[in-house]
Structure 1
Amino acid sequence: MSRLRTTLKRYVGMRQGLGYKYDGPARRLSSFVTFMEARGADTITTDLAMEWVTLMGRQPSWSIRLADVRCFA
């Protein structure tokens, strides 16, 4: 398990512990971590975040995906 994946599990657990359902963001962030792992990256950068945000979906969904990554970073 990568350092990012471990950090994600802890982050999602913390958010859920605070009472958030956090299912949608958890799925999106898991996809982001998979993307990062495929590139061999262990540090979140603006370039990688923007590449992932714009890979899928239409422009209106980009802001949601970017907000998820910003909070996680």
Structure 2
Amino acid sequence: MSGLRDLMDGYLTTRRAPGFKLVAPGKTLDAFVGWMEDAGEPTIRRDLATAWAAQFSRGTVLERLNYVRQFAEHVAWFDPATEVPVLDGRPYGAHRPRPRIFTDQQIDTLLVAAG
């Protein structure tokens, strides 16, 4: 195991202790740390995090980069050479879409159509 993987395991254990599941962040960070290990990079840098996130679809790049950013803030406590990625003020895409609110007439039409 690499030092980065040990830090990731500790980070996820600490974050999960209060009851958070962190399924998506866990998978994302595991993929990121695996990519860092394959590249032979022991330290998180902005350019590496951005290059890793850029290989994904446009809709998930900022969300994935946000997971890495939060992890990098944790890692920076243990490795001062760590660079925390910046999101450039853009919101990441992990927000729910607006709910569709039907009018009474639309609900009646749906009920008639459904039988």
TM-score (normalised: structure 1)? 0.95
Between the two proteins, the alignment pairs up a number of residues equal to 72
Give the aligned residue type for 2:61: W
Deviations 1:30-50 (A, max 9, x none): 000000001111100000000
Q: Which contiguous aligned blocks of 4+ residues in structure 1 show a shift greater than 6 angstroms?
A: none
Identity %: 38
Distance in 1 (CA, whole Å) between partners of 2:27 and 2:59 is 18
Aligned pair 1:65/2:64, yes or no?
yes
* Bigger relative contact order, structure 1 or 2 (CA pairs below 8 A, ≥6 apart): 1
- State the Cα distance separating 1:55 from its structure 2 match: 1.1
Distance in 1 (CA, whole Å) between partners of 2:26 and 2:36 is 15
Task: Give the RMSD, CA atoms, in angstroms.
Answer: 0.7
Listed as ranges, the gaps of 5+ residues in structure 1 are none
- State the Cα distance separating 1:18 from its structure 2 match: 2.0
Listed as ranges, the gaps of 5+ residues in structure 2 are 73-115
Rg (Cα) greater in structure? 2
Distance in 2 (CA, whole Å) between partners of 1:44 and 1:64 is 17
